[in-house]
Amino acid sequence: MRAMVLDAPGRPLRLADLPSPTPGPGQVLLEVLACGVCRTDLHVVDGELPNPALPLIPGHEVVGRVTGLGEGATRFRIGARVGVPWLGWTCGICAACRSGRENLCQEAGFTGYTLNGGYAEAMVADQRYCFPISEGADDVATAPLLCAGLIGYRALRLAGEGTRLGFWGFGAAAHIIAQVAAWQGRQVHAFTRPADEAARRMALDLGCVWAGASGDAPPEELDAGIIFAPVGALVPEALSRIAKGGTVVCAGIHMSDIPGFPYRLLWGERMVRSVANLTRRDGEEFLALAPQVPVRTVTTVYDLEQANRALADLREGRLTGAAVLLP
């Protein structure tokens, strides 16, 4: 099979011809139909997340078709379409797992980071951590839902029930979750890079009530904010825009350092919190909700061997919406 392989952080991915993997107990073998390119992939490739399982096949927004079953794998039939997310395995016995917080499992395995992912023609995955995908769903449109959508959904829940929301960074995750928030009757204010007029137009097209550049003042005080951009300097800015009692959610797995800021920005029972990974319950809830909205994903498609170009476009801010690889 063809696969794009990371040999060391900071290096371009290498196109390789590898043996197709063999599913182990409880695993399914998948033909990869589409794989989204997530900012977390960029953090792995650029070395901002430590200790990837090298050599590594990245990718954790995978839509695939089951072509083989390991011993005891009975959840999916041959030919079924499934989605593979970031969370690929948990121990099931630690305090976090036993308390319904499997996203915090210290022994967790992550697709495209500690487990080989979907930048390939085939992959294996633990059947327990895959989601069924309906036959009518489009592969390319569905792929970004499996991380950008899932993590965005968890971030939206953690932001609370406020009506007036601010989203800092309007890329793959924000453009999905803005639609969910608008469908829920909330008012989303989008903050983008100063020069990114395309992102602001997309935000308004997808139901946001206001779109401006980071640093601009929104037309009203906000109840909560979600920071999708990996920029720590946005935390004080977001705090300065939310009302007392509001929450700022940092939605990424990696962020640059948060600078010092005056206590008055936090005072008034404002709160800053992070989102860590996802649970299977998050995935089940969001994938059932997305067709009701219905969520529309804006995508740019790349061939598998163009993965380095897709990552570069994401890194340099040249993408509008989400990138998806097709093997």
Is omega for the bond preceding 262 within 30 degrees of 0, making it cis? no
- Please tell me the predicted confidence (pLDDT) of residue 314: 96
pLDDT of residue 59: 98
The domain boundary, picked from 234, 258, 274, lies at 274
Question: Residue 23: what pLDDT?
Answer: 98
- Cβ atoms of 35 and 61 within 8 Å: the answer is yes
List, for residues 58-108, the tens digit of each pLDDT value. 999 999 999 999 999 999 999 999 999 999 999 999 999 999 999 999 999
Structural domain count, the chain:
2
Residues 226 and 310 in one domain: no
CA distance 38 to 278: 15
Examine the domain organization and report whether 225 and 291 are in the same domain.
no
Q: How far apart are CA 311 and CA 241, in angstroms?
A: 32
Identify the CATH number of the domain in which residue 62 sits: 3.90.180.10
Q: Are 103 and 25 found together in one domain?
A: yes
Judgement on whether residues 189 and 202 belong to the same structural domain of the protein: yes
pLDDT at res. 168 = 98
User: Do 46 and 19 share a structural domain?
Assistant: yes
Q: How much is the pLDDT for 61?
A: 98
Please give the model's pTM, rounded to 2 decimal places. Answer: 0.95
* C-alpha pair distances (Å), 39 with each of 165, 206, 243: 22, 21, 29
Distance, in Å, from the CA atom of 61 to the CA atom of 234, rounded to the nearest integer, reads 26
The rounded distance, in Å, linking the Cα atoms of 326 and 109 is 24
Residue whose structure tokens are 């003042």:
217
* Shared domain check, 55 and 41: yes
Question: 166 is in which domain, residue-wise?
Answer: 149-274
Contact, 201 vs 222, CB < 8 A? no
Is 58 found in the same domain as 39?
Answer: yes
Is residue 323 within 8 A of residue 36, CB to CB? The reply is yes
| The predicted structure's pLDDT at residue 129 | 98
Question: For the domain that residue 210 is a member of, what is the CATH number?
Answer: 3.40.50.720
Q: Are residues 80 and 129 in the same domain?
A: yes
Place of tokens 């390991």: 70
Helix, strand, coil shares of the chain, percent, nearest 5, are 30, 30, 45
Low-confidence stretches of the chain (pLDDT < 50) are: none
Please give the pLDDT value at position 300. Answer: 98
Which residue, of 238, 253, 274, is where some domain finishes?
Answer: 274
Q: What is the pLDDT of residue 154?
A: 97
Query: Residue 92 carries which side chain, given as an amino acid letter?
Result: G
